[in-house]
Structure formats: structure tokens, C-alpha cells
Structure 1
């Protein structure tokens, strides 16, 4: 996997463009996500562990917004269920191309992995097959808020009994003091990982109109409205969290 450092926002830009998952981002994405999202490696690896408890024989496992396939790789490491397969979907052609390369490399390192299909597509128009596990790992936050409930409803309708949705997201907070505290701590996390004040400020400008986070309460209410019966947060580090939603 690429180890190229993230320097995308290291030089002053006259106008900061909206963030996009283009070739420049794909090239540095492993470094960017590790240095920007507290707890990311723990979340990814444990999605595989959790999935092994919900995956059912003869079913599909979805990695929606799969980027470079980190979650897909975790699913393949941990899920050993008869006749399961993974479908990884992303709408960035650059991500899909590189994801296929990484998964091919994983195939050469491990034996008896779950088969996987990587598709370039818009998950909003996806026709879901019956599934026992859906991972939405920092993906819903990039979808327009008024489209989120409909997507979650279709995921819920596709889930088999005993299956689960694992949803990871950046959070906002309804309490202003809590919001300010965790925002400042997240900035401190980025500083500690080597990002300059310029990089932090320009990345914030690039992403603020593209990624719109929700509060944990909003996620819970929306998931229940979509037909899920129970929502259980299982991980939080600063303003990033992951939850399990059961049908």
C-alpha cells in the first residue's frame, strides 16, 4: 500500500477547491486518513471482527464507499462463513482502480479469502442484494442530508434477519461547549500527527461544504426511522464514532 505522505494542502492556495477523491487524494489517502481520523485503524480492523458475528452463509457483504478497500480487506481477514462474498463499491474511478490493485496483492498473501467484486457506482442508485452485513465507513457524511434516510431504508430492507449495518461517522454535537472542546482536541490530534496550521485550515475549507456530519442523536433517530430496531454505539474517539444498527 502507498506510503506517500499527505502534502496536498501544504502550500498556500489562492482559492481552496472543494475536496474530491481524485488521483491526488488517492495517492496519499492511507497517510491522510491515518493522520486525520482518530481511531481509524481500530475501527477498520474491528469492523472485520464484528462482521464475523453477523455474516450469514450464502449472503453478500457490502462495503459502501470502499475507498482503497481497507474495510473489505478486514472483512476478508475475519469472516470465514460458507459461500459469502464481498461487494465493494465506490464512485471514484481512481479509488476503484487502486482498490483492485491492493486486493489483488492481498490475494497473493492469504489463502481461502472471501471472493470480492469491486464496482464503480453510485450507492444511491444501487439495487441491493440480500445482505447480512453492510459497512458504511465514513461514507454517509458525504451524501446529501436529504438523501440519507432513503439510502438507510433501502439498506434496512435488504438486510437478512440477524444481519447488521456498521456505520462509522464524524460527529457533531448539540452542546456548543462539547462541540468546541472536541473540535479543538481533533485539531490537536492533527497537529500531533505533523499537520501545519495552514494544512489544517485549508483542508477544513476544502471539506466543509462536502462533508456534513450529524450528531449521534440524529443518527440514532434516522436509523430508527429507516426501520432499524436497535442502534448501539461501539466505539468513539474524540469526534469520530462507529455504531451497530440491527434490523
Structure 2
């Protein structure tokens, strides 16, 4: 059984060599603390998602929701709390250690009958027809040339009236970047930790500006794209599939 989540201290040591960021056991054991201390308004983002999904699916029989890149289960747990008891979730992650934590969180929340965890590459797996898809801070870790194709796969899997919720860190001005670093200092990260984390993620996380993200979504067919969250450049959109004939 996994141990309780711990405080993020991964970059406190004085080792000069910084390896590329990976969703391994070290990250899995501190992930909730890392996310809440690094992403401005993360708790609010989850409550926004709850409002959006409740609005769309409170009267939908047996809605099926994909949580792609489900990590340790924060999104699935938040949405399961507000959606009807017959709603179903498929949580997908390619990181084995994250999925171990996800399964444990689902078990502790008594959601085993509603949630199916799958270890897979989201860019390669077949998606079932579904009502909603969550892509929370996932596209930014895919190669830029794969992001529109991933959105296309999501669009194709959604039923009419279905939604894709996308949250991403977006490219910002120097001032906003400075505000974000101050946010992390306020949450207890040292200058060394901030610098090392920046080096660790710079190769594997290439961020887009918001117009690029929206343009990709429009290109694959999403007809209604509503911005619903923005905190120091961390943004969220509700993207709805076209519901009427052309």
C-alpha cells in the first residue's frame, strides 16, 4: 500500500546535476503538494471543473468521463463527488507509480465500481465514445506536433454535446512569470528549488500561448470554446463538440 503523500522537497539538495523531470515514484509521493504549491489557484480550478461538469451532466444518464493523464486522482475524485452515482470514469496514465497512487485513492474513496484505471499512452490508445474528457496540464508534456492530433482524437471520441476540459500553463510576459515565481516563494520554495525545477522541466514541457491552444481546438472542430480559468497564465477552457449539422 502506498505511503501517505509527503511534502515536495525534491529539489532541496545541493547536487549540481539536474535530471529531466519524470513522473516517477519520487514525484508520485509528493505530487498533490507539488501541484498546489506550484499551480496558482489549483483548488479553485477543481471547483470550477465541478461546476462545469455538474452543469452539463447532472441529468445525463450514465455519463462516461475520461481523465487522461489522471496522475494520482485529484480530478477524478473532485468530479465523482458532484456527478450522479451512475457516472463512470476511465483514468489513464502511462506512469506506473502515479497509477498506483490513483488506484489507492479510488479504493479509499469507495469508487472502484465507478472508475476504471488504465496504464496506457493516451496518444496511442483507442478512446470509447464518451461524454467528456479531461486534459489537465497534459498537452504541454506532449511533443508540440502531437498536440493537435491528440485534440482531434478527443473530438472524435466525444458524443454530440460532449465537452473536453483543457487546462494548460501558457506562455506569458516576464512580469507574469516573475509573479508566478513569487507565488512559489510564498509557498515555501527556495530560489534553489525554483531554479532546479525550471531546469528539470524545460526540455519536457514546451508551453504554448493561449491563442495557439484555441486555434488548434477550432481546427479539429470544437465549435464553442469558453475560457473558464486564468491564474498567472495557468488557463482552463471548456471545449464543446459541434451539436448541429453543418
Establish whether TM, by shorter chain, passes 0.5: yes
- 1:102 corresponds, among 100, 105, 109, to 105
Distance in 2 of aligned mates of 1:171 and 1:194: 23
TM-score by length of 1: 0.92
Residue 154 of structure 1, CA deviation: 1.2
Contact 1:60 1:129 in 2 (8 A): no
Matches within 5 A, 1:163-242: 163-173=162-172, 179-242=173-236
Residue 63 of structure 1, CA deviation: 0.4
- Partner SS state of residue 149, structure 1: helix
Distance in 1 of aligned mates of 2:125 and 2:77: 22
Matches within 5 A, 1:1-247: 2-55=4-57, 56-80=60-84, 83-107=86-110, 115-173=114-172, 179-247=173-241
TM-score by length of 2: 0.92
Residue 182 of structure 1, CA deviation: 0.6
- Partner SS state of residue 185, structure 1: helix
Distance in 2 of aligned mates of 1:73 and 1:114: 13
The structure with the greater share of residues assigned to helix is: 1
Contact 2:36 2:42 in 1 (8 A): yes
Show CA shifts across 1:181-211 (max 9, x none): 1100000000000000000000000001111
Show CA shifts across 1:20-52 (max 9, x none): 000001011111111000011111232122112
Contact 1:19 1:207 in 2 (8 A): yes
Q: Give ranges in structure 2 of 5+ residues lacking alignment.
A: 242-246
Distance in 2 of aligned mates of 1:88 and 1:210: 22
Output the aligned Cα RMSD: 1.6
- Partner SS state of residue 57, structure 1: coil
Distance in 2 of aligned mates of 1:38 and 1:217: 21
Distance in 2 of aligned mates of 1:53 and 1:129: 22
Show CA shifts across 1:95-153 (max 9, x none): 00111111111118xxxx97000111110012111111111011111011100111101
- Partner SS state of residue 107, structure 1: coil
Contact 1:86 1:114 in 2 (8 A): no
- Partner SS state of residue 11, structure 2: coil
